[in-house]
Amino acid sequence: MKNALIVGVLLLTTGAFIDLVVDESINMNTMPDGDMHAQIMWGVIDLVVILACIFHGRQLVRVALRQPYILAFVAWATLSVFWSENPSLTARRVLGIICTTALGFLLGMRFQTKELFRLLAWALVIGMVATVVAGALFPSFGVMANLDGGAWRGVFNHKNDLGSKMGIAILVFTCLLWESRRNRMIYAALLLLAVAVIVLSRSMTSIIVTVLTLSFGIYRRMRFRPAEKVVFAALGPLVALAAVFFLQGRTDQIFALIGRDSSLTGRVPLWQLSFAAVFQRPLLGAGWDAFWPGKGGDTIRSLIGWGAPHAHNGFLEIALNIGLVGLIIFMVFNYDCFRRAARYSKMQGQPLRLWPLLFYTYTFLFFFMEAPPIDRHTIMFVLFCALSVSMTEALALEPVPQELEVENLPAGIAADSAMAQEFR
């Protein structure tokens, strides 16, 4: 029963079925009052989280103190209430951030990474199957007929929301396929279905980011010798340089192949204006979630000629909200998560150990083209916090290696090391 409730909450944080609760005419980013039904729903969930925090208070404090950079980021967002252009809005949204952080901490504390991974897989399967049903049987709801010639959104709010969650699903089912010796046909079928759905979403950002992340995962799984790693490191810049020369004068044709224009569907002018807006309040920002509903957001929307709800770039969005100070704190906490995920992934023969590193890579790449996943009641921020906690706890329990890996050492050193081990 408990696991079923957790799967349900994870499913809601993906954004699935929210349109059944929320009035579609309300844009949460530009209309600060929001939707009463959504507020009640998330209020109940947040209340349950608060009660769970009280019940597990001592253990939660111990776990939270091991996440200083996440706490610093949330604390800075909370302090932005004092300089926010809309203090009441920022206070409400920050409360959601705090509860989402606490939910992630609780999940990371109560579940090991592998257990949480499987709960996430169930939530994604439900969202994916429901999307297929909505798109195939109820196209008036599941297909965005006026956008991209019929891009699917399924049970999500937008095609990009569907695409981003299916990208996570592809990573999840790929890891399960790598890890499992049983049920491989089931995982392969789910993986193919996730690929089909992300293609139907026509979310090019999600498709490109997913391909890049999977390529990185495949590279990490392959065991290269040191000389081969040097070759790959040398080839990378050469390929990038060749790509730059090839793209010169061909950008319009390349973007046309993927159904986009050279302005990236209006994102380039949006980024330029958002970048300029950052330096109007560079250190502190406008306050968490206070920029786009305010005068700054209205000015940018009037200049670009469309209703941008956010900067479509996570780094710009954080800087607009809580300034360059907040962005620096975020980059430090993001690096800390990457560092632990890289260490956690080093155990050979356990592909699920690669999952946190793939997730953080996916999220980081997503920041370049979309709004920040670091937000209240979002699956990405829940996982950011939960994986950080579960990895920290797991790494703390692992014994510190006391002996060298003899097979990777030169012959002379290996012999000395082997002799030393015999005399211990």
pLDDT digits (tens, 9 = 90+) for 358-415: 999 999 998 988 776 788 899 999 999 999 999 988 887 766 554 434 444 444 444 4
Q: How many CB atoms lie within 10 A of CB 127?
A: 25
Which position has the token pair 């797991």? 394
pLDDT tens-place string over residues 334-345:
999 999 999 888
State how far the Cα of 290 lies from the Cα of 84, in Å rounded to an integer. 7
* Predicted TM-score of the model (pTM): 0.84
Handedness of CA 395, 398, 400, 405 (dihedral sign): negative
Tell me the residue length of the chain.
424
Q: What is the pLDDT of residue 283?
A: 93
As a whole number, mean pLDDT of residues 278-300 equals 92
State how far the Cα of 393 lies from the Cα of 105, in Å rounded to an integer. 11
Asked whether 345 and 215 are in contact (CB, 8 A), the reply is: no
Q: Comparing C-alpha atoms, which of 331, 321, 323 is closest to residue 367?
A: 331
pLDDT band for 231, please (50, 70, 90 cuts). low
- Residue spans per domain, the chain: 2-23+30-220+340-422
pLDDT at 211 over 50: yes
